Amino acid sequence: MAPARDFYDILGVTRTASRPDIQRAYRELARELHPDVNKAPEAEERFKEVSEAYSVLSDPDQRERYDAFGPDFRRVPDDADPQAWARATGRQRAGAGAGAGARGFGGVDFEDLFGDVFRRTGRTGRRGGEPMPGADQETLVEPSVEEAYHGTHRKLRISGPGGTRTVDVTIPPGVTDGQRIRLAGQGGRGGDGGAPGDLYLIVSIRPDERYRVEGRDIHVPLPVAPWEAALGATVPLETPGGETKVKVPPGTSSGRRLRLRGRGLPGPKGRPGDLYAEVQIRVPPHLGDEERQRFEQLAAVSTFDPRRAS
């Protein structure tokens, strides 16, 4: 049997990687390998491999056991002492985590190492016949800004040890980038009648050329004409919540931010974010004869110098 690949190598991170580093690596690989995107024959198997590695390394308790016992961490009894295990297997464990055969690291037999512990509890570290809870799972969801604002429904393909299945999920209004949504009982199946694990949706709002999202706040460009900026005007603005009107004060320059309170992403358990309209003064690309004449008249009488204005 081929040795198990190291979870850190699978995600392309170091053994000292932080949880955000692990999450970023998983997101990149999940986008590349997801079966809905990548139709290569080996992509689905690699996606399962990446998902399993992430489910372990993103969980502090599982990661600690994996670091201590390597790929066979699920077979080691819960009360096993990592230091004693390391001493007993130290000669064979150079590069721990890089893989092990069916008998453990370097051919060490776990029954020889732990005596009759396995015979009492079974090779999974639990008493024979007891229900085994299913594993928690995580998957990436990438709603648009509008979907994050209004909420949406998705059919997700979830890959795991039991194969690939489809799950109907609801993404509620007001989700934010990086948020984890728990779906109780939608994770991996349990064994011997054990309860299923939970499914966690990791939200990554898709980039949008119209909007920039920071937390619950939304930034959107607001194009205005020179005369609207100089004289003041009320102009329409398209937002994720629909069209609204923005009052541009007289004497507004490019780069000014106009704040619309509460028009950002909804806050299901608190105040919503704000929307910031960022003024961009646009000039006509082509001037008619009368327009040119008006601008020339303005240039002749105006004392305004934009290079000296504060």
Point out the least confidently predicted range of 23-32, 49-58, 112-121: 112-121
Same structural domain, 31 and 100: yes
Total domains in the chain come to 3
Asked whether 66 and 5 are in contact (CB, 8 A), the reply is: no
Q: For residue 241, what are the domain limits?
A: 212-301
Same structural domain, 234 and 296: yes
End-of-domain residue from the set 203, 234, 249: 203
In a domain, 190, yes or no: yes
| pLDDT(279) > 90 | yes
Same structural domain, 116 and 142: no
Same structural domain, 62 and 157: no
| Tens digit of each residue's pLDDT (9 = 90 or more) over 208-247 | 999 999 999 999 999 999 999 999 999 999 999 999 999 9
Query: Which CATH number goes with the domain that contains 260?
Result: 2.60.260.20
Same structural domain, 49 and 22: yes
In a domain, 128, yes or no: no
Same structural domain, 15 and 77: yes
End-of-domain residue from the set 203, 223, 238: 203
Model-level pTM? Answer: 0.59
| Tens digit of each residue's pLDDT (9 = 90 or more) over 133-154 | 777 888 889 999 999 999 999 9
Same structural domain, 284 and 259: yes
